[in-house]
């Protein structure tokens, strides 16, 4: 399953799907018959295959997070080690997120992709995507809350909802994590025999979910091909040309993170061969890229980290669900770049203090972003508003966001994997498994 040939098949599916989709989109321009066939194949063949894979992954997220996280807290029992792991993880998360935004802001200052943007093109894009931007604005509840009490309740709801099942059906991860931590702590204070039995049950449940992921991964090469085909055959590359400088800077930074920064962190902090490490992560990268969702990728990263990277379940079950929810390096970087890009297009000059504020807001908001496709967009509008950049300007970049979303999800998820490997090394040095 996780053999090297399977990795390459997934990667081949990814490239083939993208090439086929782009080719079909462009061949279909002006040819109605051909376009109808492509749309039919996309809707009736590619979409269902991609969705079956995606749903198998989404399906296991809630029980997996609950069982894995509660189990690891209950088993650790030892609050000192949990605190130590949490502290290392938190520092690594924060450090890499702040570094990512700083890198993004610096690159946007250097390359200023928004400064040469013509006012006509700005108007054209604003008009095409204004409706989408308006929907996002409405969806942002925190922004809409006017009274202090309403704001406090909204923030509390993000962590401690009144009804955990309501939060779970809405796929909200922060309340799920808070509940899993509390459940684990509750199990941890039971008598030894009961604690053991509960841990065994939670372990079995988590392993069963991982087994389902294994079955889903058999579908991965075909499913990844289909998911990418659906996206690229619809949108093609036409918009990309107009926004190529912006897209180029953001994607370039992602490549630097993936191919330079993360391997360097692996070599220095994890002390493992970076090439072999990154190669083992191909299924994670392909799943993140094709699903654009940290949540959907979580089961795959749990499986690969435990089975192929040899990271102990106690560490994986703690760091990866937390990471998928709060650690978003790619999102933080993207938010910083997007704010500066829109500011540049509108001719707004942000001074150093405002840029420092952007950095802080991007890190904070990335923590609250949901790990789903486009999860960062409502929060991005709030960051824009805070620093005086018109939030409706998000319309400028919506057309190419799906592509950037694929990239930032890869960076988000790989940041969690590298952190898990780092925590594993430091913990293993203290207490061999
Ligand atoms: N799609 C991203 C993720 O799931 C979130 C975002 O929109 O930035 O990690």
Q: Which atom of ligand 1 is nearest to the CA of 413?
A: 9
Would you report the helix, strand and coil content of the chain in percent, each value rounded to 5?
A: 85, 0, 15
Q: Is the CB of 294 under 6 A from ligand 1?
A: yes
For residues 372 and 295, the answer to whether their CB atoms sit within 8 Å is yes
Q: How far is the centre of ligand 1, averaged over its atoms, from the C-alpha of 366 (Å)?
A: 9
CA-to-CA distance for 355 and 44, rounded, in angstroms? Answer: 47
CA 18–ligand 1 middle distance (angstroms): 20
For 357, the enclosing helix (H) or strand (E) is helix 352-368
Neighbours of 249 (CB within 10 A): 21
Summarize pLDDT for 243-284 with one digit per residue, the tens: 888 999 999 999 999 999 999 999 999 999 999 999 999 999
CA of 114 relative to ligand 1 center, distance in Å: 23
Regarding the beta carbon of 375 and ligand 1, being less than 6 Å apart is answered yes
Is the CB–ligand 1 distance for residue 408 below 6 Å?
yes
Taking the centre of ligand 1 as the mean of its atom positions, its distance from the CA of residue 69, in whole angstroms, is 21
Distance 296 CA to ligand 1 centre (A): 10
Ligand 1 in contact with 100 (CB < 6 A)?
no
How confident is the prediction for the chain on average, in pLDDT?
A: 87
**Ligand 1 in reach of 374 Cβ (< 6 A):** yes
Q: Which of 330, 333, 401, 404 to mutate to test the pocket of ligand 1 (most atoms within 8 A of CB)?
A: 330
Identify whether the C-beta of residue 282 lies closer than 8 Å to the C-beta of residue 10.
yes
**pLDDT for 411 beyond 80:** yes
Which CATH number fits the domain that encloses residue 169?
1.10.3860.10
- Quote the domain boundaries for residue 294: 4-430
Closest by Cα among 70, 56, 74, 57 to 205: 70
Determine the pLDDT at residue 433.
Answer: 44
Q: What is the pLDDT of residues 349-405, one digit of tens each?
A: 888 899 999 999 999 888 878 888 888 988 898 889 888 888 888 888 887 888 899
Query: Ligand 1 atom closest to Cα of 331?
Result: 8
CA 373 to ligand 1: nearest atom: 1
Establish whether residue 292 lines the binding site of ligand 1, counting it when its CB lies within 6 angstroms of any ligand atom: yes
180/410 Cα distance (integer angstroms): 25
97-144 confidence digits (pLDDT tens): 999 999 999 999 999 888 877 788 788 778 777 777 777 755 455 556
pLDDT in tens, 19-71: 999 999 989 888 999 999 999 999 999 999 999 998 888 888 889 889 988 98
Distance CA(199)–CA(313), nearest Å, equals 13
Query: How many structural domains compose the chain?
Result: 1
pLDDT at 1: 46
Q: How high is the pLDDT of residue 124?
A: 76
Asked if residue 242 has pLDDT above 90, the reply is no
Q: Find the 428 Cα to ligand 1 centroid distance in Å.
A: 31
Best residue among 326, 329, 369 to mutate for probing ligand 1, ranked by most atoms within 8 Å of CB: 369
Quick count: other Cβ atoms within 10 Å of Cβ 264?
A: 12
Binding site membership of 371 for ligand 1 (Cβ less than 6 Å): yes
Instruction: Tell whether ligand 1 has an atom less than 6 A from the beta carbon of residue 372.
Output: yes
Burial class (CB in 10 A: 0-12, 13-18, 19+), 27: middle
Atom of ligand 1 nearest to the CA of 330: 8
Distances, alpha carbon 400 to alpha carbons 3, 157, 256, in Å: 34, 32, 20
């Amino acid at each position: 399953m996780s053999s090297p040939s399977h990795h390459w098949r997934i990667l081949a599916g990814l490239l083939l799907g993208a090439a086929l989709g782009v080719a079909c989109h462009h061949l279909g321009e002006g040819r109605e018959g051909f376009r109808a066939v492509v749309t039919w194949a996309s809707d009736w063949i590619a979409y269902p295959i991609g969705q079956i894979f995606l749903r198998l992954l989404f399906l296991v997220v809630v029980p997996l997070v609950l069982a894995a996280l509660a189990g690891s807290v209950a088993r650790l029992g030892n609050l000192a080690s949990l605190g130590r792991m949490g502290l290392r993880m938190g520092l690594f998360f924060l450090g890499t997120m702040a570094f990512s935004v700083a890198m993004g802001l610096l690159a946007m200052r250097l390359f200023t992709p928004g400064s040469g943007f013509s006012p006509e093109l700005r108007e054209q894009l604003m008009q095409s995507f204004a409706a989408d931007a308006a929907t996002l604005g409405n969806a942002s509840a925190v922004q809409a809350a006017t009274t202090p009490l309403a704001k406090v309740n909204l923030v509390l709801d993000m962590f401690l909802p009144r009804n955990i099942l309501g939060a779970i059906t809405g796929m909200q991860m922060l309340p799920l994590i808070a509940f899993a931590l509390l459940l684990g702590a509750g199990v941890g204070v039971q008598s030894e025999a009961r604690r053991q039995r509960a841990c065994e049950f939670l372990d079995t449940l988590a392993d069963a979910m991982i087994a389902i992921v294994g079955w889903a991964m058999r579908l991965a090469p075909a499913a990844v091909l289909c998911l990418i085909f659906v996206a690229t055959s619809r949108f093609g590359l036409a918009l990309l040309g107009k926004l190529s400088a912006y897209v180029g800077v953001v994607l370039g930074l992602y490549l630097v993170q993936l191919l330079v920064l993360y391997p360097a962190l692996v070599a220095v902090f994890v002390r493992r061969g970076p090439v072999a490490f990154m190669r083992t992560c191909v299924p994670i990268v392909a799943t993140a890229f094709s699903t654009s969702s940290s949540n959907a990728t979580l089961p795959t990263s749990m499986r690969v980290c435990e089975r192929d990277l040899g990271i102990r379940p106690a560490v994986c079950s703690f760091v990866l669900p937390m990471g998928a929810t709060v650690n978003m390096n790619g999102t933080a970087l993207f938010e910083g770049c997007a704010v500066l890009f829109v500011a540049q297009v509108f001719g707004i000059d942000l001074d150093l203090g405002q840029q420092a504020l952007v950095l802080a807001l991007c890190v904070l908001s990335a923590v609250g972003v949901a790990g789903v496709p486009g999860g960062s967009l409502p929060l991005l509008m709030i960051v824009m508003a805070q620093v005086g950049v018109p939030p409706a300007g998000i319309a400028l970049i919506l057309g190419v966001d799906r592509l950037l979303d694929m990239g930032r999800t890869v960076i988000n998820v790989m940041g969690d994997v590298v952190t898990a490997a780092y925590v594993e090394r430091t913990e293993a040095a203290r207490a061999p498994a």
